[in-house]
Amino acid sequence: MAKARQPKPTNPSPGPEDSDFVEWDLRLYIAGRTPKCIAAFSNLQKLCEEHLAGQYRIEVIDLLENAQLAKGDQILAIPTLVRKLPEPIRKIIGDLSDTERVLVGLDLRARS
């Protein structure tokens, strides 16, 4: 949870030299440390390590601290994972416990 507390980009694997650019830019919206939010974050991390190692960045936004940010990404449900990049924007809501659906939602797996 240490990473989640910092609303800074976390990039577990060093990318190319222009480190700001990543192929997968993900944003996880939470509202406080609720069990659902904690579960979502750990599920997301696990999934990214498995499928997107070295190509992703996760930004965690706690709406209890930055409520105004909810409007920009049209956040309604908590937790919501927003795929900013690659385009188009995708939104995945829920605690991300259904890995298959998360992969579908991220377009990492074809819709059945």
Partner 1 sequence: MAVAKCASGIAGFDEITGGGFPRGRTSLVCGSAGCGKTQLAMEFIARGARDYNEPGVFMSFEENEEELKSNVRSLGFDLDDLIERKLLAMDYVAVERSEIEETGEYDLEGLFVRLQHAISSVGAKRVALDTIEALFSGLNNQAILRAELRRLFRWLKVQGVTTLITGERGDGTLTRQGIEEYVSDCVITLDHRVTDQLSTRRLRIVKYRGSTHGTNEYPFLITHTGISVLPITSLSLNHAVFNERVSTGVPRLDTMLGGQGYYRGTTILLTGTAGTGKTSLSATFVDAACRRGEKCLYMAFEESQDQIIRNMRSIGVNLQPHVDKGLLKFHASRPTFYGLEMHLLVTHLLVEEQRPAIVVIDPVTNLVSGGSVGDVHAMAMRLVDYLKGRGITTVMTTLTSGGNNLEQSEINISSLIDTWLLVRDIESGGERNRGLYVLKSRGMAHSNQIREFRLTDHGIELLDVYLGPDGVLTGSARLVQEAKAQSDEAEREDGARRRYLEVEAERKALAAQVAALEAKISLQDKEMQALQSQEKAQGQRRVAGREAMAKSRRADVPATAPRLRVAAKNR
**Strand-pair partners of 31:** none
Q: Does 108 bind partner 1 (CB under 8 A)?
A: no
Residue with tokens 């809501």: 93
Q: Is 31 in the site for partner 1 (CB under 8 A)?
A: yes
Radius of gyration of the CA atoms of the chain, in A? 13
Phi, psi of 41 (to 5 degrees): -65, -45
List binders of partner 1 among 11-30 (CB under 8 A). 29
Residue 54 or 109: the one with the smaller Cβ distance to partner 1 is 109
Q: Smallest Cα–Cα separation from 24: which of 60, 57, 69? A: 57
Q: Which is nearer to partner 1, 15 or 91 (CB)?
A: 91
Q: Is residue 53 at the binding interface for partner 1, with CB under 8 A as the rule? A: no
Q: Is beta strand 24-30 parallel, antiparallel or unpaired with respect to 80-85?
A: antiparallel
Q: Check binding of 91 to partner 1 (CB under 8 A).
A: yes
Residues at the site binding partner 1, with contacts judged by CB under 8 A: 29, 31, 34, 36, 39-40, 63-64, 67-68, 70-71, 74-80, 88-98, 101-102, 104-105
